[in-house]
């Protein structure tokens, strides 16, 4: 993502727990994103765009993380955060049948430690951070990539019939900005 943004003409700084695997031709800061104030060394109020692609589910305190994202943003800044959709129909069925959270169990990434439920995010996390949800998208838009193909079609059909706004898609794409 950093390289794509650089190629679009953005002035980019990468930041992560490690520089292992970071190949973009942009400055990169190794920083512990679990620190209470990781925004200060990066520059508070400095960024018009903050991206966090599949990071928040690895963080011990999502509210602390979101407060830091808010601190990094300029007054008109926007944050784009993605995270696994643990509210999807496949995730709900897995939890109902096994008591396990999809993408957070023994088959998922072992560093996934914090599932982000959209209702908690909207009603508890964001009000505590000074951020508001500007737009919420799901990816893929009309289905699932993480499910076995044999189950994708019936899940897509069931999700279209059942009530709920997050039943489709494997990932949340959250567009956040400072509360107005």
What CATH number did the domain enclosing 43 receive? Answer: 3.40.50.150
Q: How far is the C-alpha of 91 from the C-alpha of 101, rounded, in Å?
A: 6
Q: Can you give the pLDDT at residue 65?
A: 98
Structure tokens belonging to residue 128:
């505590």
Average pLDDT over the chain, rounded to an integer: 93
Q: How many domains does the chain have?
A: 1
Q: Residue 76 burial by CB count (10 A; 0-12/13-18/19+): exposed, middle or buried?
A: exposed
Helix (H, G, I), strand (E, B) or coil at 72: helix
Max CA pair span of the chain: 48
- pLDDT tier for residue 85 given thresholds of 50, 70 and 90: very high
- 126 falls within a domain: yes
**pLDDT of residue 180 exceeding 90:** no
pLDDT tier, 88 (very low <50, low <70, confident <90, very high otherwise): very high
Domain coverage including residue 141: 31-178
Identify the pLDDT of residue 115: 97
C-alpha dihedral sign at 158, 174, 11, 37: negative
Q: What is the pLDDT of residue 117?
A: 97
Q: Give the tens place of pLDDT for each residue, 29-49.
A: 999 999 999 999 999 999 999
Report the distance separating Cα 27 and Cα 131, nearest Å.
Answer: 27
Question: Which pLDDT band holds residue 56 (cuts at 50, 70, 90)?
Answer: very high
Q: How confident is the model at residue 164 (pLDDT cuts 50, 70, 90)?
A: confident
Distance of alpha carbon 146 from its chain centroid, rounded? 16
> Is the residue at 7 inside a domain?
no
Quick check: is 105 in a domain? yes
Does any domain span residue 22?
no
In a domain, 21, yes or no: no
Structural domain contains residue 103: yes
């Amino acid at each position: 993502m950093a390289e794509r943004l650089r190629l679009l003409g953005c002035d980019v700084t990468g930041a992560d727990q490690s520089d292992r695997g970071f190949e973009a031709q942009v400055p990169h800061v190794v920083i512990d994103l679990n620190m209470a104030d990781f925004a200060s060394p990066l520059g508070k109020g400095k960024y018009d765009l903050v991206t966090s692609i599949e990071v928040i589910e690895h963080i011990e305190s999502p509210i602390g993380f979101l407060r830091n994202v808010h601190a990094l943003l300029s007054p008109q800044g926007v944050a784009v955060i993605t995270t696994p959709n643990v509210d999807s129909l496949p995730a709900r069925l897995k939890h109902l049948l096994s008591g396990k959270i999809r993408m957070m169990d023994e088959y998922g990434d072992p560093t996934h430690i914090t599932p982000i439920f959209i209702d908690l995010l909207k009603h508890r996390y964001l009000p505590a951070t000074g951020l508001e949800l500007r737009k919420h998208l799901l990816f893929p838009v009309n289905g699932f990539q993480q499910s076995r193909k044999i189950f994708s079609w019936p899940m897509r059909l069931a999700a279209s019939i059942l009530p709920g706004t997050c039943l489709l898609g494997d990932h949340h794409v959250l567009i956040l900005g400072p509360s107005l």
